[in-house]
Chain A
Amino acid sequence: MDQKIGLIVILTLFMLLMVSFIAVFVVLYQKRHTNYLKEKQLLQYHFSQTLLQTQLEIQEQTLKNISQEIHDNIGQVLSLAKLNINTMNCNEPEALQGKINDSKILISKAIQDLRDLSRSLNTDYVVEMGLLRSVEYELELIKRTGVLQTVLRIEGKPYRLEQQQELILFRIVQEILHNILKHAKASVIDVFVQFKQELFTLTVTDNGIGFDASRLESSDYSGFGLGIRNMHNRSVMINTAFALNSTIGKGVAITLQLPINNPVK
Chain B
Amino acid sequence: MELIKILDILGPLLALPFVFLRKGRTRRENLVILFLVVQLVLNGIAKYIMIQPDGHNNNIFFYKLNAFLSFGIAGLFMLTILKKMLAAKAFGLIAAYYTVSLVVLLIILINESNTSFNSMSFSLTAFSVCLFCVIYYLNSLANPGDENIIQTSKFWLITAFFVYYGSNFFIFLTFGLLAKYNIKGLGLWGIHNVIFFISCCIILIAAKWIKK
> Which residues of A pack against B, CB within 8 Å?
1, 3-4, 6-8, 11, 14-15, 18, 22, 25-26, 28-30, 32-33, 35-37, 40
A15 to B171, CA, bound (A): 11
B53 within 8 A of A: no
What separation, in Å, do the CA atoms of A4 and B178 have in the docked complex?
Answer: 10
Q: Cβ of B183: which chain A residues have Cβ within 8 Å of it?
A: 1, 3-4
Bound: A161/B146 CA distance, A: 26
Report the bound CA distance from A14 to B144 in whole Å.
Answer: 28
**Contacting A18 at CB < 8 Å: which of B141, B166, B186?**
B166
Judge if B93 is at the interface, Cβ distance under 8 Å.
no
Which residues of chain B are within 8 angstroms of A14 by Cβ–Cβ distance?
167, 170
Which residue from chain B places its CB closest to the CB of A8 in the assembled complex? Answer: B186
Q: Across the interface, which residues of A come within 8 angstroms of B141, CB to CB?
A: 25, 28-29, 32
Known contacts A18-B162, A22-B159; is-contact A29 B140 (Cβ 8 Å) = yes
**In the complex, chain B residues whose CB is within 8 Å of the CB of A7:** 178, 181, 186
Contact residue among A1, A3, A36 (Cβ-Cβ distance under 8 Å from B144) = A36
Q: How far is the CB of A32 from chain B (nearest CB, A)?
A: 5
What's the least CB distance linking B134 to chain A, in Å? Answer: 9
Q: Chain B residues in contact with chain A, CB under 8 A? A: 137, 140-141, 144-146, 148-150, 159, 162-163, 166-167, 170-171, 178, 181, 183, 185-186, 191, 195
Chain A nearest Cβ from B206, distance in angstroms: 14
- Taking a contact as CB atoms under 8 Å apart, the answer to whether B144 and A26 are in contact is no
Interface residues of A: mostly helix, strand, loop or mixed? helix
- Chain A residues within an 8 Å CB radius of B140: 29
Give 16 A-B contacts (CB < 8 Å), ordered by A residue.
A1-B183, A4-B185, A6-B181, A11-B171, A14-B170, A22-B159, A25-B141, A26-B150, A29-B140, A29-B141, A30-B150, A32-B141, A32-B144, A33-B148, A33-B149, A40-B146
- Cα(A28)–Cα(B142), bound, Å: 10
Smallest CB-CB A-B distances: 4 pairs: A36-B144, A33-B144, A3-B181, A32-B144
Cβ–Cβ contact B167 & A15, under 8 A: yes
Q: Which residues of A contact B191 (CB under 8 A)?
A: 11
Of B149, B162, B166, B178, which contacts A29 at CB under 8 A? B149
| Residues of chain B lying within 8 A (CB to CB) of residue A1 | 183
Cα-based distance from A25 to B136 in the complex (angstroms): 11
Measured CA separation A120–B175 after assembly (Å): 81
Cα-based distance from A6 to B163 in the complex (angstroms): 21
Residue with the greatest number of chain B CB neighbours at <10 A, chosen from A7, A22, A35, A37: A7
Min CB gap A131→B, angstroms:
31
User: Which residues of B have CB within 8 Å of A6?
Assistant: 181
Add 17 more A-B contacts to A11-B191, A29-B144 (CB < 8 A): A3-B183, A7-B178, A8-B186, A11-B167, A14-B167, A14-B170, A15-B195, A18-B167, A22-B162, A25-B137, A30-B148, A32-B141, A32-B144, A33-B144, A33-B149, A36-B145, A37-B146
